[in-house]
Amino acid sequence: KKKVKFADSLGFDLASVKHYSAAEEPHIPPKPRPVGGPAVRPQPAVLAPGFAQPGEADSFLERVRLHKVCLERIDTSHLDIRGLVRVWDVSYKKEVTIRYTFNNWLSFIDTPARYIPRSERDAQTDQFAFTLCIPPFIEKGSSVHFAICFRTEKDEFWDNNNGQNYTVRHQGPPM
C-alpha cells in the first residue's frame, strides 16, 4: 500500500516565491564553467576516410558493372558523412541502404539513400546520396564503419570495400 504525504503536512512550504524588480538585472556568468576547473570547449571532430575515393579509379564503372553497387565518394564534416553510391541499372525498383556502426558491429544503424535523378551521366547506372549522422562527442581514435546494400525485387548486392568495410576515423580537433 502506498502513502501520499504533502509538503505542508511535513512542515515544508507548498510554494517558494521570489519577487524580482524590473530595475534588478540577474547575474548570469558569461560562460558556464565546470566545477573545479577551467572552461572546456569541445572541439569538432576531424573525420578522415581510411580509403581512397573509389569513384576516382579508372576501373570504377567496371567495378560497378561487376558488383552492381559501389561507393563513389564521401565528404566528411564534424557532424556527418555524406556520400554518393553508384548502382548498375538492373531493375526499375531498387533500394540502397547504408549500414553503419560506431562500436565495431555490436550494434548498427541502417539508413536509406535517396535516388538522384539522371543528368548527363551514363544511362547504365543510377546514383544515390546518403548522409550518416555522427554523434557530437565521438572519441578521438574511434571509427565509423559502413557498408552499402543494394536491393532489387529479386537480388541483394553489397559493397563492403572488398570485405574490409569502409572506415572513417576520428583524428581529433583541427590544429
Q: How confident is the model at residue 8 (pLDDT cuts 50, 70, 90)?
A: low
Residue 11's CB: how many other CB atoms inside 10 A?
Answer: 6
> Mean of the pLDDT values across residues 57-80?
94
113, 125 contact by CB (below 8 A): no
Nearest to 166 by CA among 101, 80, 79, 78: 101
pLDDT at position 175, please? 42
Q: Please state the pTM of the whole predicted model.
A: 0.72
Pairing of strands 109-112, 47-49: unpaired
pLDDT in tens, 21-54: 666 666 665 665 566 656 555 566 678 899 999 9
Give the span between the Cα atoms of 66 and 92, in whole angstroms: 18
How far is the first Cα of the chain from the last one, in angstroms, to the nearest whole number? 62
All domains of the chain, ordered by start, with CATH? 47-170 (2.60.40.2440)
Range of lowest pLDDT (1-5, 46-50, 72-76, 80-84): 1-5
pLDDT in tens, 103-137: 999 999 999 999 998 766 678 999 999 999 988 77
pLDDT at position 172, please? 67
Measured between alpha carbons, how far is residue 126 from residues 1, 46, 47, 54, 146 in Å?
Answer: 65, 30, 27, 16, 20
